[in-house]
């Protein structure tokens, strides 16, 4: 399964756009565990979005 890079980029951006603003704000938290948790949530949402397109 090969996706065109522009399609992959669009899917990732769409997945990021769906992440609530409050969640995105936690990416700059001074608490490492909070940042890591949000990174995991965002990564999972990107994986799901990519899987739905294949």
pLDDT of amino acid 53: 85
Copy the structure tokens of residue 15. Answer: 């997945």
pLDDT of amino acid 1: 62
Residues of the chain whose pLDDT is less than 70? 1, 54
CA 24 to chain centre: 10
pLDDT of amino acid 50: 93
Alpha-carbon distance 16 to 23, whole Å?
10
The rounded mean pLDDT for the chain is 93
């Amino acid at each position: 399964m090969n996706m065109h890079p522009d399609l992959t980029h669009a899917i990732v951006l769409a997945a990021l756009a769906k992440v609530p603003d409050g969640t995105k704000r936690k990416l700059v938290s001074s608490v490492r565990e909070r940042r890591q948790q949000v990174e995991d949530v965002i990564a999972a949402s990107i994986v799901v979005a990519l899987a739905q397109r294949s």
